[in-house]
């Protein structure tokens, strides 16, 4: 399978000069930084250009059902692409898991977040940020972690909710919340924490955050869409994904 994918990607790259085109991609907010890097490499290697829009998977689902002309969805979960496929908005047989997300509890303040998450039980903070669990899988995972600790009801008055994980991160980054649940990829780079303190939440504390990609109706039969889906499975793209704090 890997050999077939590599051959397909090579074929797209060789024909890029003749068939170069654009592909419109709806990208889950947590995958912003790695996808920006992948898009640059994708254009350099194939000639095709990925036009990116970032936001919450829930919002993208509604937009796609209302006719938004995205050709590919890179979701923050595996349920939304599967649903779109069942409902006829996604192209059958194109869906696959491009990354497995990791959740982190993060503060800009060094030493504030311990490596077991005990800060959640101490309650020594006024606000804690998370993505809206109704719209964002990372928010749902955060609630699952708090439920496991029996802290959801206690901490609910302190919640500062963002529409997506990017907004939750901004609440902490700007000091509007002392700590928050973010994607590990937002605070992790080159194998180390960028700043502050964080608890990398064990994957066993919440359901796996499998992030699936799917070709949408407008992308059916489009060379640039097929090329990007193949590129996401290439060793080069997978290395960038892993180095950004995701599992594969």
pLDDT tens, 105-148?
Answer: 999 999 999 989 999 998 889 999 999 998 888 999 999 999 99
108 shares a domain with 87 = no
Structural domain harbouring 57: 2-100+208-243
**Weakest-pLDDT range from 32-36, 96-100, 228-232:** 32-36
Q: What is the structure's pLDDT at 239? A: 94
135 shares a domain with 224 = no
Residue 176 CA: distances (Å) to CA of 3, 104, 126, 156, 232: 48, 18, 10, 16, 35
DSSP 133: T
Instruction: Report the number of distinct structural domains present in the chain.
Output: 2
Average pLDDT, the chain: 91
**Is the pLDDT assigned to residue 13 strictly greater than 80?**
no
CB of 102 closer than 8 Å to CB of 209: yes
Structural domain includes residue 155:
yes
Mean pLDDT to the nearest integer, 205-212: 95
Count CA atoms closer than 13 A to 154's CA, side-chain side. Answer: 12
Structural domain includes residue 113:
yes
Pairing outcome for strands 128-131 and 159-162: parallel
Closest CA to 220 of 98, 80, 89: 89
17 shares a domain with 95 = yes
17 shares a domain with 84 = yes
Structural domain includes residue 248:
no
52 shares a domain with 77 = yes
Structural domain includes residue 214:
yes
Place 18 in a pLDDT band, splitting at 50, 70 and 90: very low
**Is the pLDDT assigned to residue 232 strictly greater than 50?**
yes
**Is the pLDDT assigned to residue 7 strictly greater than 60?**
no
Count CB atoms within 10 A of the CB of residue 176: 13
218 shares a domain with 174 = no
142 shares a domain with 54 = no
Structural domain includes residue 239:
yes
**Distance separating alpha carbons of residues 88 and 68, to the nearest angstrom:** 14
96 shares a domain with 7 = yes
Q: What is the structure's pLDDT at 211? A: 97
Q: What is the structure's pLDDT at 8? A: 52
93 shares a domain with 17 = yes
Which residues, at least 6 apart from 10, have a Cβ–Cβ distance to it below 8 Å? none
Phi-psi category of residue 74: left, alpha or beta, with phi > 0 → left and psi -120 to 50 → alpha = beta
- 21 CA to centre of own chain: 25
Structural domain includes residue 84:
yes
Structural domain includes residue 59:
yes
58 shares a domain with 82 = yes
Structural domain includes residue 63:
yes
96 shares a domain with 107 = no
Q: What is the structure's pLDDT at 16? A: 42
> The pTM is what?
0.80
pLDDT digits (tens, 9 = 90+) for 49-101: 999 999 888 899 999 999 999 999 999 999 999 999 999 999 999 999 999 99
Pairing outcome for strands 197-200 and 103-107: antiparallel
118 shares a domain with 54 = no
> In this prediction, what percent of the chain has a pLDDT beyond 70?
92
User: Domain holding 145: CATH number?
Assistant: 3.40.190.10
């Amino acid at each position: 399978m890997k050999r077939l994918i590599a051959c397909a990607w090579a074929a797209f790259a060789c024909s890029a000069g003749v068939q170069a085109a654009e592909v419109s991609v709806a990208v889950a907010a947590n995958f912003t930084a790695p996808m920006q890097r992948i898009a640059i490499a994708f254009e350099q290697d194939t000639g095709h250009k990925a036009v990116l829009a970032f936001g919450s998977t829930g919002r993208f689902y509604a937009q796609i059902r209302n006719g938004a002309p995205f050709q590919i969805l890179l979701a923050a979960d595996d349920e939304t692409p599967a649903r779109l496929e069942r409902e006829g908005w996604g192209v059958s047989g194109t869906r696959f898991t491009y990354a497995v997300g990791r959740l982190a509890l993060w503060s800009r303040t060094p030493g504030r977040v311990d490596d077991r998450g005990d800060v959640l039980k101490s309650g020594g903070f006024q606000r804690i940020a998370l993505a809206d669990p109704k719209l964002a899988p990372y928010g749902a995972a955060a609630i699952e972690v708090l439920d496991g600790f029996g802290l959801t009801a206690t901490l609910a008055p302190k919640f500062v909710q963002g529409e997506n994980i990017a907004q939750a991160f901004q609440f902490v980054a700007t000091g509007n919340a002392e700590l928050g649940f973010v994607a590990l990829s937002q605070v992790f780079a080159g194998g180390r924490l960028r700043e502050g303190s964080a608890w990398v939440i064990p994957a066993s504390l919440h359901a796996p955050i499998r992030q699936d990609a799917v070709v949408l109706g407008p992308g059916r039969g489009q060379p640039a869409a097929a090329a990007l889906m193949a590129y996401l499975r290439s060793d080069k793209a997978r290395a960038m994904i892993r180095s950004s704090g995701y599992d594969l």
